[in-house]
A and B are shown apart, each in its own frame.
Chain A
Amino acid sequence: MLATAIVMFREVLEAALIIAIVLSASKSIAGRGRWVGAGVVLGLAGASLVAVLAAKIAASYSGNGQAVMNAVILLSAVLMLTWHTVWMSAHGRELAAELSAVSVDVQTGKRPLAALLIVTMAAVMREGSEAVLFLWAIAAGGEQRVAMTLGGAAGIVAGVLVGLLLYRGLLRIPARYFFSVTGWLIILLASGLAAQAAGFLNQAGLLPALGNTVWNTSGILSQSSIAGQLLHILVGYVARPSGIELVFYGATLLIILSLLRVQQRSRMRGAKGRAATGVSA
Chain B
Amino acid sequence: MSFRILSLSMLSAVLLQAAVASAADAVPVLTINAQQFVPQALTVPAGVKQKLIIRNTGTIPAEFESYDLSREVVVPARSEVTIYIGPLKTGRYQYFNDFNHAMQGTITVPAAGKGN
A residues apposed to B, CB below 8 Å: 3, 7, 54-55, 58-59, 62-64, 66-67, 129-130, 133-134, 136-137, 140-141, 199, 202-205, 208-209, 212-213, 218, 222-224, 238-242, 245
Expressed in whole angstroms, the minimum distance between the Cβ of A148 and any Cβ of chain B is 11
Expressed in whole angstroms, the minimum distance between the Cβ of B59 and any Cβ of chain A is 7
List 14 extra interface pairs beyond A58-B74, A62-B82, A242-B70, CB under 8 A. Answer: A7-B99, A54-B74, A55-B77, A55-B79, A64-B81, A64-B83, A137-B61, A202-B84, A204-B84, A205-B49, A209-B86, A212-B89, A238-B70, A240-B67
Contact assessment for A66 and B73 in the assembled complex, using a CB-CB cutoff below 8 Å: yes
Interface centre among B60, B81, B85, B86 (most CB of A within 10 A): B81
* 24 residue pairs from A and B, CB less than 8 Å apart: A55-B77, A55-B78, A55-B79, A58-B75, A63-B80, A64-B82, A64-B83, A130-B74, A133-B61, A133-B74, A133-B99, A136-B60, A136-B61, A137-B62, A140-B59, A141-B60, A199-B70, A203-B73, A203-B83, A205-B49, A205-B84, A209-B87, A238-B70, A245-B70
How many chain B residues sit at the interface, stated as a range, is 20 to 34
Expressed in whole angstroms, the minimum distance between the Cβ of B87 and any Cβ of chain A is 6
Q: With A202-B84, A204-B83, A240-B68 as known contacts, state yes or no: A137 contacts B99, CB within 8 Å.
A: yes
